Amino acid sequence: RPPRSTLFPYTTLFRSAFSLGNVFGRLGAGWASDVVEVSFGAPRSVFLTFGGAMSAVSMAALAGGDETASSPRMFSAVGVGLAEGTVMSSWTAIVRRSFGAERFGLNLAVYNFAMAIGSGVLNGLAAAATETEDEGEEVHNLRVVFWFAAIACAVAAVVGVVATRILRERTRGWGTR
C-alpha cells in the first residue's frame, strides 16, 4: 500500500483551508444573518440552506474531481469549511430564538451531541467503506462516499428551503425579536 502522503499529498494544507473556511464562514454568516434577519425579515434558516447547498457543491467537486489535481480538493476544503461555519453560526442563533435563553445551553448541547455522534458514526462507516489495499479501488470508494454526501447535503438544502418558507409564513407580522 502506498503511503498516505502519495494519495493525499496536501493533507495539512487542506486541513488549514477547511479551518480558515470554517472561521470565515462563522464570522461572515453570523454577521450576514443578523443583517438579513433585521433588514429583510428573512429567517436565519436561509443560511442553513446556503450551508447545505455549499456543502453539496463542495462534495460533488471532490467526488467528481481529478484525484491528481489539488484545485478541486482545495475548493472542496474551503467550501466545506465555509458551509460548516455558516451552519454553526446560524444554528446557534436559531436555537436561541426558538427556545429562548432559559433552555439555550441544554438545547445547543443536545444539538452538538447529536452532531458528534452522527459525525463519529458516519465517518466510521465511510472509513470502513473506503478501506482497501488497492489505491484505485480506494479512490473509487471515496468518490462514492463523497457523491452520497453531496446528495445528502442537497436534500438538506431542499429541506432548508421548505423550512424557510414555513418560518416566513409563521413570522409574517411578528417582526423580529
- pLDDT per position as a tens digit, 109-135: 888 888 888 888 888 888 888 888 887
pLDDT of 61 over the 80 cut: yes
Nearest to 15 by CA among 72, 76, 58, 62: 76
The number of residues making up the chain comes to 177
The answer to whether the beta carbons of residues 160 and 47 sit under 8 Å apart is no
pLDDT at 143: 87
The dihedrals phi and psi of 132, each to the nearest 5 degrees, come to: -160, 160
Residue 51 contacts residue 91 (beta carbons within 8 Å): no
Residue 94's identity, in one-letter code, is I
The proportion of the chain whose per-residue pLDDT surpasses 90, expressed as a percent, equals 28
pLDDT of amino acid 4: 52
Residue closest to 9 by CA, chosen among 135, 134, 123: 135
